[in-house]
Amino acid sequence: MLDFPKWKIWSIMLTLVVGLAFAVPNFFSEATVATWPSWVPHKQLNLGLDLRGGSHILLEANTDDVRKTKLEALEETVRSELRGAEGGPVAFTDLSISGGVLSITVTDPTRLDTAVETLRTVTWPVGSLSGQRDVEVSVVDGNRIILTPTDAGIAIAVNAAMTQAVEVIRRRIDELGTREPTIIRQGSNRIVVQVPGLQDPSALKALLGKTAKLEFKLVDVDADPAEAAAGRAPPGSQILEYSDQPGVIVVKRRVMISGDQLVDSQPSFQDGQAVVSFRFDSAGGRRFAKATQENVGKPFAIILDNKVISAPRINDAILGGSGIISGSFTTESANNLSVLLRSGKLPVELKVIEERTVGPDLGADSIRAGAIASIAAVLAVAALMIVTYGRFGIYSVVALVLNVLLILGVMSMLGATLTLPGIAGLVLTIGAAVDANVLINERIREEARKGRGIVPSIEVGYRDATRTIWDANSLNIIVAVIMFIFGSGPIKGFAVVLSIGIATSVFTAVTVTRLMVAHWLRRGRPAALVI
């Protein structure tokens, strides 16, 4: 137990040096650390919202929007499937969405069964035993087919939409350059967003509140302006408002191309006016080129979140897969729009239902209180250990200080976030580390009382106590992992610190102290064991 090969000694020392090197930047300001050489670790602990201050926003998804989106996607699928049905296209009329269902009238009654079977192929089961599907297909009035999204299908769609929404929100926040945001789901249709250090959440709300659904649709030039003003659109068309001017415009419902195929979007200037340039992927570029080739001379609308940004005329085919969106943009609004388009559209509309701003002063007070508690705990434990175990107590105190520094170093290395519960976990880890040293020292003392020699007492003490320490801390690790997997926010912060602290405490209490004791035995050659 007390024999340390040179490779093991160097491994222990290297571990300590690396851990301490990553811990050191946390004791200096960001400005000071920025002046250090590039080969020196610069990473610092990320402070959570409760320590650093920042913005807390609670978003709620509109589940009705999910149903609407599903029906709109289904509308295009139905049109395509019936045109490619077995035995030839199925003639239909009055394809429309109303009352949360999609309805279609088959003009040839002899093709009704074919239409029903074709449409059932676009639905999929949501339960292996129940046989329920995401969309129910039924026939009413002899030749009218009704497609109704089921509750189970909507629930699955909402879950998928929320998962995607979290990723889109993360990309948008990253575009702001914020550090370590917390984005977690709450319940089935809510998302909590916490951005440390952001005291003005207005820009964040503007980004998160927009769905960023970009669409290109043809303008219905045959629509009657008087009918449009009265809110009545021809079949296959819809009425939309302009984003920057009064009035309405009638556009075709069918989407020429959507923003889903965008690969880049950047703010730029054209003729001194702020604009947004965009670029499609190869498939989107081909589709965009085909759409503009077939509609030269016709106006088309550029639509963002169901509001028309502009409606230019297609003078020539656009073959390069790129284009420019112009409008009444400022430099800031053009930049925000480019961020929205790059990050992708939200699959569901999100509304801010709760907003809180935590000031940095409160976080500073929490840090100060946590630091005082940690220092007080270390000093109290150090005094008790030294008084109780003498030299071995000093070794335990050294290991305890190294343990705290290693925790900071590992968290900085991993980019973990320290929260107020995390500070509580740090203080708890101090107690766990001391407990391990107490077990070792008491076992050594017990063996010495039995009359064993110095070296045998120490070897047996470390050997027997290490088994107990490993067993106890393995259970603690399991609990910490469970809290991390199933917990959220502050609970995860506590679990992270606890997990790292348990690992470092076992390392310092068992390995580092044993190395110090072995060095003392080789150099000091004590005649008696005093503990």
Cα 185 to the chain's mean position, in Å?
Answer: 9
Q: Could you give the maximum distance between any two Cα atoms of the chain, in Å?
A: 108
> Has residue 101 got a pLDDT over 60?
yes
Show the tokens assigned to 115: 């239409």
Average pLDDT over residues 406-410: 92
Q: Contacts by 322-325 with C-beta closer than 8 Å and gap 24+?
A: 322/277, 322/278, 322/279, 322/280, 322/285, 323/277, 323/278, 323/288, 324/268, 324/270, 324/275, 324/276, 324/277, 324/278, 325/275, 325/276, 325/277, 325/278
**Whether residue 129 has pLDDT greater than 60:** no
Which residues are paired to 300 by β-bridges?
A: 218
Q: Which of 211-215, 434-438, 442-446 has the lowest mean pLDDT?
A: 211-215
d(C-alpha 211, C-alpha 305), whole Å: 6
pLDDT of residue 180: 66
Pick from 12-16, 125-129, 433-437, 458-462: least confident: 125-129
- Residue 135 tokens read as 């969309």
- Bridge partners for 356 per DSSP: 56
CA distance 416 to 182: 11
**Cβ within 8 Å of residue 89, ≥6 positions away:** 82, 83
Packing angle between helix 391-414 and helix 420-449, nearest 10 degrees? 150
Beta bridge partners of 276: 267, 325
DSSP-derived 3-state class of residue 227 = helix
Q: Best-predicted range by mean pLDDT among 119-123, 377-381, 440-444, 484-488?
A: 440-444
Mean pLDDT, the chain, integer: 84
Q: Which domains does the chain have, with CATH numbers?
A: 6-53+359-524 (1.20.1640.10), 63-155 (3.30.1360), 209-357 (3.30.1360.200)
Residue-level pLDDT at 507: 92
Q: How far is CA 325 from the centre of its chain?
A: 30
**Cα separations in angstroms, 382 against 61, 224, 314, 388, 497:** 52, 86, 79, 10, 21
> pLDDT band for position 187 (50/70/90)?
confident
Query: pLDDT confidence of 361, banded at 50, 70, 90?
Result: low
Count of Cβ atoms closer than 10 Å to residue 504 Cβ = 25
Query: What is the mean predicted confidence (pLDDT) over 361-388?
Result: 80
Whether residue 1 has pLDDT greater than 70: no
Residue type present at position 17? V
Strand partners, 307: 241, 304
Per-residue model confidence (pLDDT) at position 488:
66
Whole-number Å distance between alpha carbons of 72 and 308: 19
60-69, 126-135, 142-151, 164-173 — most confident range: 142-151
- What is the value of pTM for the model shown? 0.62
Higher pLDDT, 283 or 11: 11
CA 267 → CA 311, 322, 341, 374, 439, distances in Å? 19, 13, 11, 49, 64
Average pLDDT of span 53-82: 84
Given a contact cutoff of 8 angstroms between Cβ atoms, the answer to whether 341 and 278 are in contact is yes
pLDDT at 379 over 80: yes
Q: Which tokens hold the place of 521?
A: 């035995």
Q: What is the mean pLDDT of residues 332-358?
A: 81
Question: How many whole angstroms separate alpha carbon 237 and alpha carbon 426?
Answer: 62
Give the integer Cα–Cα distance in Å for 344 and 351: 17
Amino acid 405: pLDDT: 92
Token pair, residue 128, equals 């292996």
Does the pLDDT at position 326 exceed 90?
no
Report the alpha-carbon distance of residue 281 to residue 279 in Å, rounded. Answer: 7
